[in-house]
Amino acid sequence: MTHAASLRTLLKTGEMVVAPGAFDGITGRMVASAGFPAVYMTGAGTSMTLGYPDYGLITMTEMVANAQRIVHASDLPLISDADTGYGNELNVWRTVQEFERAGVAAIHIEDQAFPKKCGHLDDKELASREDFAAKIRAAAAARRSPDFTIIARTDARGPAGLDEAIARGNLALAAGADMIFVEAPQSMEEVAAVPRLIKGPCLFNMVRGGKSPDVSIAEARQMGFAVSIVPGLLLRGIVETCDALLSDLREDRFPPDRSSPGALFARFDAAEWDERRTAYRDSSDGTPSSCAAAE
């Protein structure tokens, strides 16, 4: 089963899918090891791995390459940020096909004008409704498999209000989107209104310290969201941990050893790679050993 089909199967259960944010192979693997059913590739985190803020500075090919690494490392259905689709409807067509070819299960495309910025910052500018709908129509038509999920994200709440965001979400559904992502509703009442007023499945973005209130997983589930992404949890935790460790290092302080190098490698399939090497080296007559033959 493809990852896109796996995500569709998860969504059909009616249970809200929780997808923590990852930004590289390590964090993707850790999400999988923790037992989550899906992973989200954060655009902000991807930007920061290259040394940039989330200001629309990363290209489509850079985003796709990172998504492919996370898919490989996690072996989970990946929901990916695809920003504005990286141009007009023709660019969106190629964007969809490249992400789908990389094994991604779903992408979200937003209605900000270029250059975009993080959805929880001020002074966002919107593309027209017509341009947004054209991009979503192109995205729906470009996918090779109907299992590939198109999520339409609207950032209209900040510059134009919740009513405009709801209108754009329903417009995107009519244009062919499978799910709607209303970014940054600004109160618990607004958060709850989104799945009630949108005429299709909805995604909620759990951002602590942003424009939206702090909503728990249980609360989002009760409100009726189909998916909740948690993009910044690992990113913030790792940055803060690195700051603390490096500050200690400057004072010649080291944390207590929690694991050996071997134990760390074991989390990334070292035993399987050792078995492969042994299998191909142990056959003295050139015939693959039973382990190698089984592969």
Give the start-to-end residue ranges of the domains of the chain: 3-234, 241-273
* C-beta separation of 96 from 150 below 8 A: yes
Give me the pLDDT at residue 293, please. Answer: 45
108 as an active site residue: the answer is yes
Q: Is the pLDDT at 288 greater than 60, yes or no? A: no
Reply yes or no on whether 205 is catalytic. Answer: yes
214 is annotated as an active-site residue: no
**In degrees, to the nearest 5, what angle opens at C-alpha 217 toward C-alphas 216 and 219?**
65
Q: Based on C-alpha coordinates, what's the Rg of the chain? A: 21
Would residue 54 show up in a list of annotated catalytic residues for this protein? yes
For the question of residue 202 being annotated catalytic, the response is no
Q: Is 83 a catalytic residue?
A: yes
The per-residue pLDDT for 269 is 86
Is 165 within 8 Å of 129 (Cβ atoms)?
A: no
Token pair recorded at residue 285: 């007559």
d(C-alpha 196, C-alpha 162), whole Å = 13
Known catalytic residue at 40: yes
Structure confidence at residue 285 (pLDDT): 57
Active site residue 118: yes
State the pLDDT at residue 14: 95
The reply to whether 196 belongs to the active site is no
Among the options 3, 8, 29, 40, which is catalytic? 40
Q: Which of 54, 100, 111, 178 is catalytic?
A: 54
Q: Is 110 a catalytic residue?
A: yes
Average predicted confidence (pLDDT) for the chain: 93
Are 100 and 143 contacting, i.e. CB atoms less than 8 angstroms apart? yes
Residue-level pLDDT at 286: 54
pLDDT tens per residue across span 89-111: 999 999 999 999 999 999 999 99
Would you state the CATH architecture of domain 3-234? Answer: Alpha-Beta Barrel (3.20)
Binned at pLDDT 50, 70 and 90, residue 3 comes out as very high
| Residue of 8, 153, 157, 168 marked active site | 153
